[in-house]
Amino acid sequence: MKLIIGSDHGAVDLKEEVKRVLKEEFAEVEVEDVGTFGTESVDYPDIAEKVCTPVANGEADRGIVLCGTGIGMSMMANKVKGIRASLVSDLFSAEMTRAHNNANVLCMGARIISEYMAWEFTKVWLSTEYLGGKYAKRVEAMMNYEKNR
């Protein structure tokens, strides 16, 4: 699996921690970091686009975006055609966003959750398989709406 990760300046430390643990516990996942790499202010839409475009184009399997609250990143991520991004702040949502909604981008907020919880959400999100079945019809309807508008 190839995963693209990116954050704005407000979540760069959380991004680095998630990357560190990913390399330790999910060695089979190829991780590409598209920035930012410091605390100098950057615009989150630019980072979200760098993460989401390769996911939408099939160049990567999934993406993770982080900012202060996760809200801005999730809003921008969902503007990219083909992206199903979900902002999570609990384990159940992290699981259901994959199982029921086949989310391909995980969004988290560094000012909202701890490093420990960010890792727990990431672990659940990466480990949960999409159930398909009755959920496939719903995901297809969502994607058809996007395609036809």
How many Cβ atoms are within 10 Å of 91's Cβ, its own excluded? Answer: 14
Peptide bond into 36 cis (omega under 30): yes
- CA pair distance 93, 109, nearest whole angstrom: 14
67 in catalytic set: yes
Residues making up the chain, counted from first to last: 149
Q: How far is CA 79 from CA 10, 25, 129, 141, in A?
A: 21, 31, 24, 17
Per-residue burial over 111-124, b if 16 or more Cβ lie within 10 Å, else e, is ebbeeebbbebbbb
9 in catalytic set: no
Three-state secondary structure call for residue 4? strand
Catalytic pick among 9, 52, 67, 107: 67
Contacts with 137 (C-beta within 8 Å, 6 or more apart), sequence order: none
List active site positions. Answer: 67, 100
